Structure 1
Amino acid sequence: MNMQPTLENDRVRLSPLSMENYLELAKIASQPGLVRYSPGRVEDPQGFRDYVVRALEARESKKAIPFIIYDKEIKAFAGSTRYMHIDWINKVLHIGATWIGREFHGTGLNTSMKDLMLTYAYSDMEFEKVEFRIDERNTASRKAVEKLGARLEGILRKNVYLDEGYKRNTCCYGLLREEWQSKYKRAGM
């Protein structure tokens, strides 16, 4: 399996995140509170570098595939996302650690990116289920994955510490391959 694929559609290009390209995101990463619902500090340069190093270590152990996001419409780097917690045996993975600059919110970029990632996970990777883990308070992200067809499967209570010491409740969403495929059939794609 290619652990460094490039995924692309008309709107977005997802390229492998690397130590050579991550600084393209430094200005976006420095936006205050951008990653407030997830563990990991990206606002300060050292925290951002550590965040990328951990993502690349997870790729080396075949547990994650991190991407840098390029918005082809706006012609600018927009943020980062990844496949993570990859369970190769049971054919289940998470899409997460997604953050895009505020100037890209509400532009359709996130939906286009998730469509691309879901299609690749189900077809090329032959996975059977994609999960999303979202802070219970992050209503925008929860609505976005529900719009994709993901279902709330449960809430893990106080299971993840965030950097400021708050212990969040995590909503667990799942989307099965057959649910995704039926969505595309209904949409005539």
Structure 2
Amino acid sequence: MKAPILENNNVKLTLLDLSNYKYLETIAQEKDLIYYSPSDISTPEKLKDYVQFAVDGYNHKTAIPFIVYDKKKKVYAGATRFGLINWKNKVLHIGWTWIGSEFQGTGLNTNMKFLMLQYAFETLEFEKVEFRIDERNNKSRRAVEKLGATLEGILRKDVIMKDGYRRNTCCYGILKAEWSAIKQNLKQKINH
């Protein structure tokens, strides 16, 4: 499996691996950046372990991790990933997304998700893309809802967080049949 390069005028997504993750060390240490994630990237060692786990997923064809480059600001902004890739059922998850605070609210995330959704539906020809979000993470839930994803249900107390809290996980999805309308809507957003 060769990792794609996904890019437009605003963002470039390339394979995140042990050769480039150090560009993210400063951003990864921002306070509460991934508060609603069970992962820990708070130290250079923990970030390296996080990336190694993503690389292992890539090697097993269950994940494609990306490093995010903001083309407007000409700097690395964070990371995102296709994960839990189910090639048989043509379903994957988009998640493990974090970008530094200076990039939040700039439209960068919408550009990233547009490129990823387009690749999932049009190149991989998958049938469904899912997003799983901590029920308490209203900012991420609103962002996914703005993309056009539908809340399909809530998994109760299914993930243990770093502090021992058992979170409820909101499951959102976009179906291939919905992509055409969502694509038009997102194109308008990213071209403004």
TM-score norm. by structure 2 comes to: 0.94
**Structure 1 residue 181: deviation in Å?**
1.0
Are positions 1:67 and 2:57 aligned together? no
Cα deviation digits, residues 61-100 of structure 1 (max 9, x gap): 1000000000001111000000000000000000000000
Cα deviation digits, residues 25-52 of structure 1 (max 9, x gap): 0000011111111111101111111101
- Provide the secondary structure at the position in 1 that maps to 2:76: strand
Per the alignment, residue 10 of structure 1 pairs with 9
State how 1:1-189 maps to structure 2 within 5 Å: 1-2=1-2, 4-185=3-184
User: Structure 1 stretches of 5 or more lacking a match?
Assistant: none
**Structure 1 residue 162: deviation in Å?**
1.1
CA contact (8 A) 2:147 2:186 kept: no
- Provide the secondary structure at the position in 1 that maps to 2:51: helix
The alpha-carbon distance between structure 1 residues 154 and 13, as it changes in their structure 2 partners (threshold 3 A), is: same
CA distance in 2, matches of 1:62, 1:72: 28
Letter in structure 2 aligned against 1:134? I
CA contact (8 A) 2:83 2:94 kept: yes
Cα deviation digits, residues 98-140 of structure 1 (max 9, x gap): 0000111100000011001000110011111000000001101
CA distance in 2, matches of 1:14, 1:174: 22
**Structure 1 residue 186: deviation in Å?**
6.6
Letter in structure 2 aligned against 1:11? N
CA contact (8 A) 2:58 2:64 kept: yes
- Provide the secondary structure at the position in 2 that maps to 1:123: helix
The alpha-carbon distance between structure 1 residues 77 and 181, as it changes in their structure 2 partners (threshold 3 A), is: same
**Structure 1 residue 187: deviation in Å?**
7.5
- Provide the secondary structure at the position in 2 that maps to 1:52: helix
CA distance in 1, matches of 2:182, 2:32: 34
TM-score norm. by structure 1 comes to: 0.96
More displaced 10-residue stretch of structure 1: 159-168 or 127-136? 159-168
The alpha-carbon distance between structure 1 residues 6 and 188, as it changes in their structure 2 partners (threshold 3 A), is: closer
Percent identity at matched positions? 56
- Provide the secondary structure at the position in 2 that maps to 1:62: coil
Q: Give the aligned length.
A: 188
Moved over 3 A (4+): 184-189
CA distance in 1, matches of 2:8, 2:184: 19
CA distance in 1, matches of 2:186, 2:64: 29
